[in-house]
Structure 1
Amino acid sequence: MKNNTWQLQDAKSKFSQLVENAMSSEPQFVTKHGNNAVVILSFEDYKKITKPKTDLVTFLRSSPLMEIELDISRNGELPRNIEL
């Protein structure tokens, strides 16, 4: 067994150690019935892999639709009548 691979029953009984290993060194893998089940990783590692590549403003400004003119004028008609 690799140092970063745990069987489910070992992961449950040594959860604090599992979390400490994930925080201090590398992601930890947990298997269930011999099959890969989950990966435990530090919050810092999680933030790195889920952080967007660009911010929203930069993304929208680089859109191929940036040059398209939009008609955002409002319809001047009154709303429909509803019988109550």
Structure 2
Amino acid sequence: MQTWQMQDAKARMSEVVRGAQNEPQEITVHGKSVAVVISRASFDRLSQMQGSLLDFMRRSPLYGADDIEFERDRSPTREVPL
């Protein structure tokens, strides 16, 4: 991954964007990573992997398992002054 200081990235934005077509481009401020520029194709691919919580749960290896039991914590609750 190519790393750019913020001031260099601003001054050479076209190079940063061109570089993002091949690999992610990291941008730093005071040596700390603050952003990553990626290609549109990478963004689209990563965005499509997102789905709803329901879709995620349906992909679980435990989906449809009826023999799972969750134990409830029976300890007393704490007093809260109102």
Residue in 2 that maps onto 1:74:
none
**Matched residue SS, 1:26:** coil
Q: TM-score, normalised by structure 2?
A: 0.59
Aligned mates of 1:52, 1:15 — CA distance in 2: 28
Residue in 2 that maps onto 1:68:
none
Match of 1:7 among 5, 10, 17: 5
* Deviation readout 1:14-70 (Å, 9 max, x if unpaired): 0000000101x100000011100000000000011110367x8xx4xx596xxxxxx
Using the aligned pairs only, state the percent identity: 32
How many equivalent residue pairs? 57
Letter in 2 for 1:26: E
Unmatched tracts of structure 1, length 5 or more: 65-84
Residue in 2 that maps onto 1:49:
46
Q: What RMSD in Å do the two structures reach over aligned CA positions?
A: 2.6
1:39 partnered with 2:36 = yes
Segments of 4+ moved more than 4 angstroms: none
Residue in 2 that maps onto 1:18:
16
* Deviation readout 1:58-83 (Å, 9 max, x if unpaired): x4xx596xxxxxxxxxxxxxxxxxxx
Bigger Rg, structure 1 or 2: 1
